[in-house]
Amino acid sequence: MIALLRAVAGLIVWAVAFSAIYGAQGLVCARGWQDVAIGPVGLGRALLIALWLAFCAVLGRMTWRLRCAWHGGVFLDRLAAASAVVGLISTVYTGLPVVATAVCR
C-alpha cells in the first residue's frame, strides 16, 4: 500500500502545489497583498512565484533522486519515477502563469 502511495507521490505533490498556489492567489487578492510593492513585483506575485519555485524544487529533487528507478526492474519504482517527472512538468506548466498574468484582475 505504501509502495502504491510512493508510486504516485510526484502527482500528489503536484496536487498540493496546485491547490496551494490557487488558494494563495485567492488570499493575495482578498488581502490586497498585490498592492504592496517589492521592487518591480508586488508582494502577492512574489509570494506566488516563491511558492511555485519551491514546489518545482521539491519535485526536481524527487525526479533527480529517482532517476535510476527508470532502469530498475520494479514496476512500482518506475511508476514513482514517472510520477515525479509528470509532477514536475505539470507544476512548471500549470504554475507558469504566476510569472506573467495579472494577479487580481
Cβ atoms 22, 53 nearer than 8 A? no
Q: Return the bridge partners of 42, or none.
A: 37
Residue 76's identity, in one-letter code, is L
Distance CA 65, CA 68 (A): 8
Neighbours of 105 (CB within 10 A): 6
- Considering only residues 27 to 66 of the shown chain, the ones binding other proteins according to CB under 8 A are 27, 29-30, 48
Minimum distance from residue 10 beta carbon to other proteins (Å): 9
Residue where the block lists cell 512500482: 76
> What track of x and - describes contact with other proteins for positions 65 through 94 (by CB under 8 A)?
----------xx-xx--xx--x---x--xx
Query: Which residues of the shown chain bind other proteins in the complex (CB under 8 A)?
Result: 1, 3-4, 7-8, 11-12, 14-15, 18, 21-23, 25-27, 29-30, 48, 75-76, 78-79, 82-83, 86, 90, 93-98, 101-105
